Homo-oligomer: A and B are copies of this chain.
Amino acid sequence: MFYYLHYCFLFIELIFSFMSEINLKKLSEELGLSISSVSKALHDSYEISTETKKRVLAMAEKLNYQPNPFARGLRKNKSNTIAVVIPEIANNFFSLVIDGIQLVAQQKEYHVLTYLTHEDYINEVSTINHLQCGRVDGVLISLCGETASVDHLINLQHTGVPIIFFDRIPETMECSTVTTDDYESSFKATEHLMLAGCKKIAFLCVSRFLSITQKRMLGYQAALQKYKIAFDPKLIIQCNNDNISNQAILKKLLSRKVRPDGIFASVEKLAISTYYVCNDLKIKIPQQLKIISFSNLRTASLLSPSLTTITQPAFEIGKESAELLFRMIKKKNLGGYMNKIVLQSSLIERNSTVK
């Protein structure tokens, strides 16, 4: 059976090598060996002597012979490729995460496919379905804001493809995750605003139904409770992905008769939109409104005023997630293997929350 298979692959490679400049035929001519022997040598067959293998490899290198990756992928049932599925890329957090992932992938000589869901559930499902059929050896994903059901991800998991969720993870699925201390850091952020004198703190979020948003909201609520401030659902502000409509939402919020004196933005772009709206409405930060935000903005300390942030270790999240994924890919038999890594964010005090 495997003998037959070898010849079958050899045949396939031959067909396709006609299309490339350097192929098995050319290699075999240069070496004075049969095509079959060259192929076996390249595949490290026990039938070929070490000396011959060395000769073949040296010539293959000299002639820059490159095996077709699809033939190789088929042969090894391995793609040497991982997929990264994220909501958006023009986002400091996610681009830093990818930087961390790429570092590890490059070390492992893996290729990285990137997919953007643009917070669209249909996109996410169709992307994940495309990854079911052996295109990748593993998947790193941060859920889109609309993800209601995780059936598509459970299906993928059932096909044996290792998946690591990072930052935005599902709650209803047994899986490996890399997250940060969202509850604790949100508690600290809210407490920080209250210690600076805020009594009416609005919580800005994008994807209310994501577990990460809920954890951050719970941290916010717990801090309110500690300081005996009643929770007001009207101060939970659901924004979306479009900066222009977010500015309209925030303009409405900051034009209320009794407007908030503090803003806790659970997403960086909402803090930026708040700054724009404050400029428009001539609301002074921090005198009239204090702002804290989850953010990986390099310019946070250069803003007018500088922005107090909860900064997630984005690069490390990418690195840890990729390392965990490669451990899972290596393990092969994943039966029940799970790992939950939690990294710490830091609260960096700046002028937007000065008393």
Contact = CB atoms under 8 A, between A and B. Distances in A.
Interface of A: 5, 8-9, 11-12, 15-16, 19-21, 64, 66-71, 73-74, 77, 79, 81, 88-92, 95-96, 98-99, 102, 106, 111-116, 123, 129-130, 132-135, 155, 158-159, 269, 272, 275-276, 279, 297-299, 301-306
Contacts of A158: 21
Given A102-B116, A111-B113, A79 B70 contact: yes
Contacts of A299: 272, 275, 297, 299, 302-303
Contacts of A130: 111
B99 A134 contact: no
Contacts of A135: 69, 111
Contacts of A112: 113-115
Given A8-B12, A9-B12, 14 more contacts: A5-B15, A8-B8, A12-B74, A16-B74, A64-B129, A64-B132, A66-B132, A69-B134, A70-B79, A81-B113, A89-B95, A102-B115, A275-B299, A304-B305
A99 B92 contact: no
A98 B95 CA distance: 11
B92 A90 contact: yes
A5 to B, nearest CB: 7
A304 B123 CA distance: 39
Contact of A69 (B68, B116, B133, B304): B133
A78 to B, nearest CB: 10
Contacts of A123: 106
Contacts of A79: 70
Between A66, A90, A113, the greatest number of chain B beta carbons within 10 A of the residue's beta carbon is seen for A90
A225 to B, nearest CB: 33
Given A70-B73, A71-B74, A272-B302, A114 B90 contact: no
Between A19, A88, A276, A302, the greatest number of chain B beta carbons within 10 A of the residue's beta carbon is seen for A302
24 contacts: A8-B11, A8-B12, A19-B77, A19-B134, A20-B134, A64-B129, A66-B133, A70-B73, A70-B79, A71-B74, A81-B113, A88-B99, A89-B89, A89-B95, A89-B102, A90-B92, A90-B99, A102-B115, A102-B116, A112-B113, A114-B114, A275-B299, A276-B302, A299-B299
Contacts of A113: 81, 111-114
A68 to B, nearest CB: 5
A20 B81 CA distance: 18
Nearest to A158: B21
A115 B297 CA distance: 23
Nearest to A269: B298
A129 B70 CA distance: 16
Contacts of A64: 129, 132, 155
A96 B90 contact: yes
Contacts of A11: 8
Contacts of A5: 15
Nearest to A306: B304
A95 B91 contact: yes
Contacts of A92: 90
A35 to B, nearest CB: 16
Contacts of A19: 77, 134
B67 A133 contact: yes
